[in-house]
């Protein structure tokens, strides 16, 4: 998946701050002699910015996406013994905005509305956007950190063997897209449910 290039961003690590040394003044010594206490409060220096490379930001983002992917997969497979999806977790960050990225969680086959069986893949991203074409898959990215969960129909690309979006399904290949993790969970479980009794339980969640 690719996306439109965004403006070049700079990142800095704000976790570290430098501390100013305690003032060595006559007043300080007088206070100690008068009260017997040492003032251990230290004034903070202005924030010291250490700028991070895009590679460092991408690595940090990737760790978070990977951990969230593991948690998401466990939650899906923990619902019912008859609904088990393969663990297929990998992540990507956006080239010019490495604080943004998406994670592939699983893929499987299902029938949509009693139609022929299709293969689908489930993802989440740490941003929200519209889905575009193969050249720029993410369109109109919103830079807020709201998460987006989505599933798309997929098929092998006849030209290079890579996986491509099957746009014969619902016109654009999109099976669902939501910002609500509970809705996403229900949708994925519905794709894996094999009988109507289980589907009724999932709908009631």
pLDDT tens digits, residue range 94-152? 988 999 999 999 999 998 876 788 999 999 999 999 887 767 788 888 876 689 999 99
Tell whether 12 is covered by a domain: no
Tell whether 146 is covered by a domain: yes
| Cβ proximity of 105 and 72 under 8 Å | yes
Domain range for 179: 52-204
First to last CA, the chain: 32
Tell whether 31 is covered by a domain: no
Tell whether 151 is covered by a domain: yes
Looking at the 3D structure of the chain, how many domains does it have? 1
Tell whether 3 is covered by a domain: no
Tell whether 67 is covered by a domain: yes
The more confidently predicted of residues 204 and 27 is: 204
Tell whether 97 is covered by a domain: yes
pLDDT at res. 37: 59
Dump pLDDT digits (tens) for 145-189. 689 999 999 988 766 667 888 988 988 899 999 999 999 999 999
Q: Quick one: pLDDT band at residue 44, thresholds 50, 70, 90?
A: very low
Least confident segment among 7-16, 46-55, 74-83, 187-196: 7-16
Tell whether 130 is covered by a domain: yes
pLDDT for residue 27 is more than 80 = no
pLDDT at res. 145: 61
pLDDT for residue 3 is more than 70 = no
């Amino acid at each position: 998946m690719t996306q439109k290039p965004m403006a070049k961003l700079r990142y800095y690590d704000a976790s570290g701050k430098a501390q100013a040394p305690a003032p060595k003044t006559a007043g300080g010594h007088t206070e100690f002699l008068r009260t017997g206490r040492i003032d251990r409060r230290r004034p903070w220096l202005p924030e010291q910015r250490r700028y991070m490379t895009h590679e460092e930001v991408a690595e940090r983002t990737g760790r978070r996406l990977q951990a969230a992917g593991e948690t998401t997969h466990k939650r899906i497979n923990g619902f019912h013994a008859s609904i088990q999806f393969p663990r297929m977790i990998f992540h990507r960050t956006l080239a010019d905005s490495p604080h943004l990225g998406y994670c592939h969680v699983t893929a499987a086959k299902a029938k949509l509305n009693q139609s022929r069986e299709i293969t689908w893949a489930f993802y989440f991203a740490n941003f929200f956007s519209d889905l575009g074409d193969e050249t720029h898959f993410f369109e109109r990215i919103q830079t807020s950190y709201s998460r987006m969960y989505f599933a798309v129909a997929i098929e092998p690309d006849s030209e290079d063997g890579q996986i491509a979006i099957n746009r014969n399904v619902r016109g654009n290949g999109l099976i669902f897209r939501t910002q609500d993790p509970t809705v996403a969970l229900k949708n994925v479980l519905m794709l894996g449910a094999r009988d109507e009794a289980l589907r009724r339980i999932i709908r009631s969640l």
